[in-house]
Amino acid sequence: MNPFSLEGRRALVTGANTGIGQAIALSLAGQGARVTCAGRRDCDETLGLIRDAGGEAEGLILDFADPMAAADIFAGAGYSILVNNAGIIRRDDSLDFTEADWDAVMDVNLKALFFTAQAFARACLADGQTPAAIVNIASLLSFQGGIRVPSYTASKHGVAGLTKILANEWAAKGINVNAIAPGYIATNNTQALRDDPERSKAILDRIPAGRWGDPQDIGGTAAFLASPAARYIHGAVLNVDGGWLAR
């Protein structure tokens, strides 16, 4: 048996309409999973790419401005892989940061992640869908402070912590819970940084790999963590950052 195969598995990827989420959905489908591509907007482009490659996928509208948006979608549906990728960011000086921007980011990035994972795990255990895997998308700012993104930094520190506590509670129940901490990846979320010549140069000068990451760099890692090859990995926060944190 191929330990990297996801044949016969059903996966849900949140925020799958673009960027990292799209790359993860494509990678899971490429290993044989049937992928539900969820987003607050349609994921038609992602669905087309998967189907053109011979994969199986369907779309689902989920807006995690309501942190409980996914509470009722797992029971009896046969999912055994969940990738919590959906996230937002707000930028402003900490002196000027608003309560509205704080709450919006925390609701999507942290509260929704927890309650989506909870609903998924409950369904897996009730329906006998184990072994199962949860992959959370953390960040380099799970370890560092960053600049002008206080709610994002707090939420991503929280993602790392939740990954560990859920692994502690669910590992013995047959559910692997791990996280990926992407480095500086060329996506919509980093467009402002890449458009700032000074910030972009400072970032590239520190990355040993010498380039911004590609979303596919995260996609392959997620497919690995969801596979039987990672069955003894629990509570890890895996840096995929071109060597940034090693610098």
Give the pLDDT band of residue 1 (cuts 50, 70, 90): confident
pLDDT value, residue 179? 99
Indicate whether 111 pLDDT > 90: yes
pTM: 0.96
pLDDT digits (tens, 9 = 90+) for 56-108: 999 999 999 999 999 999 999 999 999 999 999 999 999 999 999 999 999 99
Active-site option among 79, 152, 184, 232: 152
If DSSP codes are grouped into helix, strand and coil, which group holds residue 144? coil
Residue 116 confidence (pLDDT): 98
Q: What is the DSSP secondary structure assignment for residue 111, as one 8-state letter?
A: I
Task: State the average pLDDT over residues 128-153.
Answer: 97
Is 80 exceeded by the pLDDT of residue 15? yes
Q: Report the Cα–Cα distance between both ends of the chain, in Å, rounded.
A: 38
Q: What is the pLDDT confidence band of residue 167, given thresholds at 50, 70 and 90?
A: very high
> What is the pLDDT at residue 57?
98
If we measure between CA atoms, which residue out of 8, 156, 6, 132 comes closest to residue 81?
132
Computed over every residue of the chain, the mean pLDDT equals 97
Report the distance separating Cα 56 and Cα 47, nearest Å: 8
C-alpha to C-alpha distances, 99 to 69, 92, 96, 102, 209, nearest whole angstrom: 22, 12, 10, 5, 37
pLDDT computed for residue 185 by the predictor:
94
Rg (CA), the chain: 17
Residue 191 in this model has a pLDDT that exceeds 90: no
Give me the pLDDT at residue 125, please. Answer: 98
Q: Establish whether 232 is a catalytic residue.
A: no
Q: Is 189's pLDDT higher than 80?
A: no
Report all structural domains of the chain as residue ranges with CATH numbers, in order of start.
10-241 (3.40.50.720)
